[in-house]
A and B are shown apart, each in its own frame.
Chain A
């Protein structure tokens, strides 16, 4: 390690997003330091999904900027994995007519070496590439304890298994930053514990420490896995700090914790 890789730090600087007259994000700034797990919480409609969409390039901010690994980030959804950022979708978003294994293989699309010509002529190079991807994808399914599901279609799998497959699809790209959109939605206690362990383990994963930005409604999970929590309310960042700081912050209690915790369905994309 003589030429250290740039530090994998994400800075969100003064990001504002307006949809017509509505301000979905209002001058939001925070950082995700390398190896940190940062939680984003806030009531329904407070701008969490919009924040993710800005980082992924689905939504252009009205003003403000992003910095990633020391450089300005102008995100485009299909260039994100190349930049070392992966995201899971709140709605799981598995390819429904691809097997679980194929789903995970698509996640490694960028790692493919064989090109169109090798595929067209079915050159051994293409076969080798496929075999390598298949092994790697199977390995990820195994790590997430769902290798049995490899040849099944997503629709035939229980929801928690689908969520793990989508995690495998994100992780196979070896991201340096993982954006998790409500990963615990619809999970039981046991799966939640597994997920918490997994998230906690990511920053320490020796070969490629991965930071995590987490939108989640399950407070237990947020409070147990996050190094830092930022709280959004009506698009404004109203508090940030360690889970303990945030928990005891009266502003937060007023904005969010004191009120009813929204049902998880509220965050889900409209069908």
Chain B
């Protein structure tokens, strides 16, 4: 059991169990459900990164879908190039995904530099603007991004070794959930380390963090970058699961759904990001199915399609903040009787709102009484 004291061994065991579950699950589900799982994987990637940024480091982002878009479009552009040159191989898509994550990481670092100067509502405003403006860019440069219609994302069929009947949806689910597992693995490593502790220290008290030798902007930019890499990978696998990268799939609705997911799941908890993503994705599917069954005119059905799930997320968000501080993961921990050593709740309304209030009321890090 001494081996389990190693963070790496513990997290690798969890990673292997997750991979096993993924293989078994995708094997037992229909192609349609596998298609849904592929979408879920993209949510988990991004929500995990967002919970690190907002929950662990106290920086809110209302524009994470825009970061996903950067990843998605990068993957699309690269895959199109590869496909045009008839370059194939098992390494091609991972390479594109990695590049998408890296490019998004760089972009997120730039956003992080600005974000490190902003607090609370101002940060919310700027990330919101980013979330609106970036997808709109695609219609300004239509020659590259093909406007509203978007880019197609060609990728190789599942390798022959998996069998002739291996459905492409199942392959997409593997890619997407595999990426989610990898993101969770790395973020869990960080969270367990001094880096995670420094994220949380900066969130809790910037002055004390500085006096402990931490550069607050540097820590905040790092958190934004890490979160951006996860979102970029999420956007990449999202584009692969949809087989297209279009502005409509990375809109504000997605940003808000992601934020809902991390709050519902339990802000700052990676497991919570998984629970929250499951709820948001499947609640969306159920509600859209419900709208379809109403037999409305095409126009009203179209309107309800997005708005009903959004309203539901909003309602759920408020309910969770009021009656379930700590989200689902907090509830699970309480049910499991885990001692209140956990760092995420102390019986009062949870971060998201509190973080904003706290940041806007605390003095800037320079000047003033300390």
Residues of chain A whose beta carbon lies under 8 Å from any beta carbon of chain B: 49, 52-53, 56, 58-59, 77-82, 86-87, 89-90, 93-99, 102, 105-107, 109-110, 112, 114, 116, 118-124, 126-127, 129-130, 133, 151-153, 155-156, 169-170, 173, 181, 269-270
For B5, B189, B205, the residue with the greatest tally of chain A CB atoms inside 10 Å of its CB is B205
Q: How far is the CB of A25 from chain B (nearest CB, A)?
A: 14
In the complex the two chains form, is B190's CB within 8 Å of A119's CB? yes
In the complex the two chains form, is B194's CB within 8 Å of A112's CB? yes
Q: Does B193 sit within 8 A of A, measured CB to CB?
A: yes
In the complex the two chains form, is A116's CB within 8 Å of B210's CB? no
In the complex the two chains form, is B193's CB within 8 Å of A89's CB? no
Q: How far is the CB of B72 from chain A (nearest CB, A)?
A: 24
Cα A79 to Cα B241 in complex, Å, equals: 47
Decide: A90 near B370, CB < 8 A? Known: A122-B11, A127-B6.
yes
Query: Which of B189, B216, B343, B367 is within 8 Å of A122, CB to CB?
Result: B189
In the complex the two chains form, is A109's CB within 8 Å of B198's CB? yes
In the complex the two chains form, is B195's CB within 8 Å of A116's CB? yes
Cα A262 to Cα B346 in complex, Å, equals: 34
Q: How far is the CB of B319 from chain A (nearest CB, A)?
A: 23
For B201, B216, B344, the residue with the greatest tally of chain A CB atoms inside 10 Å of its CB is B201
User: For B189, what are the chain A residues with a Cβ–Cβ distance below 8 Å?
Assistant: 119-122
In the complex the two chains form, is A58's CB within 8 Å of B341's CB? no
A-B contact count (CB 8 A): 146
User: For A96, what are the chain B residues with a Cβ–Cβ distance below 8 Å?
Assistant: 204-205, 346
Q: How far is the CB of B3 from chain A (nearest CB, A)?
A: 11
Q: How far is the CB of A126 from chain B (nearest CB, A)?
A: 5
Query: Which of B11, B213, B214, B370 is within 8 Å of A58, CB to CB?
Result: B370
Query: Which of A86, A133, A270 is within 8 Å of B211, CB to CB?
Result: A86
Query: Which of B5, B194, B197, B208 is within 8 Å of A93, CB to CB?
Result: B208
Cα A155 to Cα B347 in complex, Å, equals: 11
Q: Which 6 A-B pairs have the closest CB atoms?
A: A119-B193, A95-B204, A77-B210, A93-B208, A122-B8, A122-B189
Q: How far is the CB of A94 from chain B (nearest CB, A)?
A: 7
User: For B196, what are the chain A residues with a Cβ–Cβ distance below 8 Å?
Assistant: 119
Q: Does B212 sit within 8 A of A, measured CB to CB?
A: yes
Decide: A153 near B346, CB < 8 A? Known: A106-B197, A109-B198, A122-B7.
yes
Binary A-proximity of B175-213 (CB < 8 A = 1, otherwise 0): 000000000001001101111111011011101111111
Q: Tell me the residues in window 276-303 of chain B with beta carbons closer than 8 Å to chain A beta carbons.
A: none
Query: Which of B194, B211, B367 is within 8 Å of A119, CB to CB?
Result: B194
Decide: A98 near B7, CB < 8 A? Known: A56-B211, A119-B189, A169-B212.
no
In the complex the two chains form, is B205's CB within 8 Å of A93's CB? yes
In the complex the two chains form, is A89's CB within 8 Å of B208's CB? yes
Decide: A93 near B346, CB < 8 A? Known: A99-B341, A109-B194.
no
Q: Does B215 sit within 8 A of A, measured CB to CB?
A: yes
For A97, A98, A110, the residue with the greatest tally of chain B CB atoms inside 10 Å of its CB is A97
User: For A89, what are the chain B residues with a Cβ–Cβ distance below 8 Å?
Assistant: 207-208, 211, 370
Q: How far is the CB of B37 from chain A (nearest CB, A)?
A: 27
Decide: A126 near B193, CB < 8 A? Known: A53-B370, A95-B204, A97-B344.
yes
